[in-house]
Amino acid sequence: MRDLSILLSLCIASLLAQPTCTLRSHLKIKELVGFAWKNCGSPDDPAVMKTLSISPDPISVPGNLMASAMGTTSVALTAPVSLNVTLEKEVAGFWVKIPCLEEIGSCHYSNACDLLDQVIPPGQDCPEPLHTYGLPCHCPFKAGDYSLPQSQFYLPDIELPFWLTNGNYRVQGVMGADGKELGCLKVSLSIHSA
């Protein structure tokens, strides 16, 4: 679960921690459809997601989301933890890689722990339900198994850059440290904006 909490936290941080930029429009996500995930690393990666369940489908934004997960990491995840994100959008039946613009898209983050600190300042309690279940939201993440029981999260309105609108997307995040891959998670979903 620690790898889950860091991967999900990092994904959220990479979207929310960015400064407002001139490329943003007033498009808001209306719903997310067809969420799917899989581990994409090698069998000996130390950080592995075992289960991840998200409902309903479609997920309304704003709205409530139910999620549960189990994962493990056999090594401690300590700063700096790099994160390579590859974001692709389906265009006319082909998958097109979206470049890194304003730190959103297919970007490399040399220390993803800093992203977590931007979203949840150090010293502040982890948000619910992570706090209730004793799940960390900052580096370091100790080695071990973690589980998030079925829990409810509220998704607020989220503004999108104008170039990240309706469509099918694939996102791959690869965590690493000291030149070694720690874990890889691939997510696919469809975004419908208002």
- Give the pLDDT score at 194: 63
**Cross-strand partners of 97:** 88
The third-level CATH classification (topology) of the domain covering 2-193 is Ganglioside M2 Activator Protein; Chain: A, (2.70.220)
> Which of 6, 49, 25, 17 minimizes the C-alpha distance to 139?
6
Query: Domain locations in the chain?
Result: 2-193
pLDDT in tens, 98-152: 999 888 889 999 999 998 898 889 889 998 888 899 889 899 999 999 899 999 9
Residue percentage of the chain with pLDDT more than 90? 42
pLDDT of residue 107: 93
Side-chain-side CA neighbours of residue 87 (13 Å)? 19
Q: What is the Cα 29 distance to its own chain's centre?
A: 16
DSSP string, 59-95: EESSEEEEEEEEEEESS-B-S--EEEEEEEEEETTEE
More confident residue, 1 or 176: 176
